[in-house]
Amino acid sequence: MTTHFDAIIIGSGQAGPFLAVKLAAAGKQVALIERNVLGGTCVNTGCTPTKAMVACAKVVHTAREAAKYGVHVQSDISVSLAEIKARGDQIVQNSRHSLRKMLDNAKGCTVIYGQAQFISPHEVQVGDQTLEGDAIFINVGGRAAEPGLPGLKNVKHLTNSTVLQLTELPRHLIVVGGGAVGVEFAQIFRRFGCDVTLVEMKSALVHREDADASKLMGELFQQEGIRLRLGAECVSFSSLPDGVCVHVSCKSDEPEVHGSHVLLAMGRTPNTSDLGLQAAGVQTDAQGFIPVDDQLRTNVSHIWALGDCNRRGAFTHTSYNDFEIVAANLLDGASRRITDRIPVRATYSDPPLAQVGMTEEEARASGRELLIGKRPMTSVARAIEKGETFGFMKAIVDAKTRRILGATIFGVGGDEAIHCILSTMYADQPYTTLTHAVHIHPTVAELIPTLLGSLQPAR
């Protein structure tokens, strides 16, 4: 038997559940299909559990540094990964529970658990049920990429999902991949007291970020005792009786890295290969991502793709914004577009690295005439008071239009402070709007007017 719905949503990531509720509130009959648990990557194996762990790692770090603040911890600091996991699990469960409640309260919305697969452009199979939808929204997200590196299949390795199941600290964790995910886990486990080696094929960590920030991230990690093996062009794996060996160089005389555990953080693969997209006529690119137009439509006009699987964003906030765009366009007659979005992101190292708009390198490559300002975090009163002066802030302005093109804040509170720059960019106001603004003292954001007041022509 086939059940008809106005809308079918595949995947309960960061767009699907909110779209389901909004469409149901508009009187549509909606099916939301989830093959695992509600909330997708962010809630279950991404943002939420990792930021909970970042908070625990910060506590350990602060406890170790306590004497610098005149606070003396009387006993040794010990870390219980089982208790840290239990704390994170609780936060995750609460978040999942709120989603469940939100969906239960949405009249007209049916949640169906199971693997969804297209069998025709309007039909989706879930177990023995066939659902027919006038409109179909794909929000299937991604999973940790497992590249075909030599030996990888023969060694036990962790991903962002399985590492969260550990209840005992690894003796020596080898993290392969120096992007945001790898960097976060490397610092977390180092602060928990593990030996950590971070292997990265490029010559720098977070290599897509501002070059000064990327270099400084390497310095921070070395200060914290994380061993770096950068420029590891030939990565391969083999088993050891008590762990894993990671070969990191094409030259045979370069030392190998021996560890107890290896964590892969080498990018994400979209969950599209088992969706039956061919039956619906939905095209993918060579990596399996689903190309969409500026309003999130795939090449099939009644099928949309939202979130990480469309490669137009790789964050919770971009996936959620995809939902906002689709909902506004379909229900409110708006014509919102992905290209109206200003890129913004943070890497949750401690201190965090926040980026809005263009990096300095991207702005220089655009050929514009630039004004650039840079100030160290040692100029921020609040950072001094907190004893956390590592890092810098930088802003890049178009000299002709006086509009801010981008900014980097790698420092305490940077992930929050960056939003005043973001809002000015959305308002399409000149940078002088911010130099004239009075900010609260003492905050990290209060240095931003000073930063923008110190712009110099780029050399």
Q: Please identify, using beta-carbon distances, which residue of 13 and 411 lies nearer to ligand FAD.
A: 13
| Closest separation in Å from C-beta 265 to ligand FAD | 8
Instruction: Candidates 95, 125, 197, 319: give the one binding ligand FAD (CB under 6 A).
Output: 319
Residue carrying structure tokens 């979209």: 270
**411 lines the binding site for ligand FAD (CB under 6 A):** no
By CB under 6 A, the residues from 201 to 260 that bind ligand FAD are none
Does residue number 314 form part of the binding site for ligand FAD (CB under 6 A)? Answer: yes
CA distance 146 to 264: 7
Residue 123 in contact with ligand FAD, rule: CB under 6 A:
no
DSSP 340: G
**Residue among 276 and 406 whose Cβ is closer to ligand FAD:** 276
Among 8, 181, 228, 344, binds ligand FAD (CB under 6 A): 181
Interacting span for ligand FAD (CB under 6 A) from 31-39, 283-291, 359-367, 380-388: 31-39
Active site includes 441?
A: yes
Least Å from the CB of residue 458 to ligand FAD: 30
Nearer to ligand FAD, 161 or 260 (CB): 161
- Beta carbons of 313 and 307 less than 8 angstroms apart: yes
Nearer to ligand FAD, 135 or 245 (CB): 135
CB 451 within 8 A of CB 372: no
**Half-sphere exposure at residue 20, Cβ-oriented, CA atoms within 13 angstroms:** 33
- Give the separation between CA 253 and CA 263, rounded to whole angstroms: 24
Sole binder of ligand FAD in the list 5, 34, 175, 383 (CB under 6 A): 34
Q: Build a one-symbol-per-residue string for 420-449: x at contacts with ligand FAD by CB under 6 A, - elsewhere.
A: ------------------------------
308 near ligand FAD, rule: CB under 6 A: yes
User: How many amino acids of this chain bind ligand FAD (CB under 6 A)?
Assistant: 36
Q: Considering the complex, what minimum distance in angstroms separates the CB of residue 266 from ligand FAD? A: 11
Q: Is 137 in the site for ligand FAD (CB under 6 A)?
A: no
**13 sits near ligand FAD (criterion: CB under 6 A):** yes
The candidate with the shortest Cα–Cα distance to 282, out of 428, 117, 37, is 117
DSSP codes, 349-409: SSS-EEEEE--HHHHHHTT--EEEEEEEGGG-HHHHHHT----EEEEEEETTT-BEEEEEE
Query: Residue 79 carries which side chain, given as an amino acid letter?
Result: V
Distance CA 95, CA 23 (A): 22
| Stretch in the footprint of ligand FAD (CB under 6 A) among 38-46, 192-200, 250-258, 332-340 | 38-46
Nearer to ligand FAD, 190 or 247 (CB): 190
77-83 contacts: CB < 8 A, separation 24 or more?
79/169, 79/192, 79/193, 81/166, 81/167, 81/168, 81/169, 81/192, 82/167, 82/168
Q: For 238-247, which contacts have Cβ atoms below 8 Å and span 24 or more sequence positions? A: 238/151, 238/154, 238/155, 239/154, 239/155, 239/156, 243/171, 243/172, 244/155, 244/156, 244/157, 244/174, 246/174, 246/176, 246/197, 246/199, 247/151
Residues belonging to the chain: 459
50 or 187: whose CB is closer to ligand FAD? 50
The Cβ of residue 84 has, within 10 Å, a number of other Cβ atoms equal to 23
Stated as kind and residue range, the H or E segment containing 239 is strand 236-240
Binders of ligand FAD among residues 266 to 305 (CB under 6 A) are 271, 275
Which one of 61, 122, 302, 441 is the catalytic residue?
Answer: 441
User: Is 45 strand, coil or helix?
Assistant: coil
| Selected binder of ligand FAD within 7, 8, 9, 15 (CB under 6 A) | 15
138-157 footprint of ligand FAD as x/- string (CB under 6 A):
-xxxx---------------
Q: Which one, 356 or 397, has the nearer CB to ligand FAD?
A: 356
Q: Which of 5, 7, 8, 12 binds ligand FAD (CB under 6 A)?
A: 12
Q: Which residue is nearest to ligand FAD (CB)?
A: 141
Among 5, 8, 9, 14, binds ligand FAD (CB under 6 A): 14
Residue 177 is a binding residue for ligand FAD (CB under 6 A): no
CB 362 within 8 A of CB 343: no
Determine if 42 is a binding residue for ligand FAD (CB under 6 A): yes
Q: Which of 33, 262, 282, 380 binds ligand FAD (CB under 6 A)?
A: 33
CA gap 375, 373 in Å, rounded: 7
Segment near ligand FAD (CB under 6 A); pick from 296-304, 311-319, 417-425, 437-445 = 311-319
SS3 41: helix
User: What one-character-per-residue DSSP string does 136-201 give?
Assistant: EEE---EEE-----TTGGGS--B-TTGGGG--S--SEEEEE--SHHHHHHHHHHHHTT-EEEEE-S
Using rule CB under 6 A, residue 160 touches ligand FAD: yes
CA-CA distance, 401 to 317, in Å (whole number)? 28
Q: Known catalytic residues?
A: 441
Chain residues that interact with ligand FAD, rule: CB under 6 A: 10-15, 33-36, 40-42, 46-47, 50-51, 115-116, 139-142, 160, 181, 271, 275, 307-309, 314-317, 319, 348
